Amino acid sequence: AEDGVLESAGDGWKVVRAFTLGDPSLRGREILDSGTSGAAELDLIVRCGDRLAEALSGVADPLDLLYRGDAFASVVRLYSESVTARVFNGLVKEAVREVLRDWPPGRRLRVLEIGAGTGGTTGYVLEALAGREVPYLFTDISPAFVQAARERFQHNPGFRSHVLDIEKDPASQGLTGCQFDLVIAANVLHATGDLADT
148, 117 in Cβ contact below 8 A? no
In the prediction, which pLDDT does 47 show? 81
Q: What is the mean pLDDT of residues 87-113?
A: 95
54, 91 in Cβ contact below 8 A? no
**Interval 4-36: pLDDT, tens:** 889 999 999 999 988 776 777 677 777 777 776
Q: Which residues pair with 8 in a beta bridge?
A: 13
Q: Quote the percentage of the chain above a pLDDT of 90.
A: 58
75, 45 in Cβ contact below 8 A? no
Greatest mean pLDDT among 25-39, 68-82, 88-102 lies in: 88-102
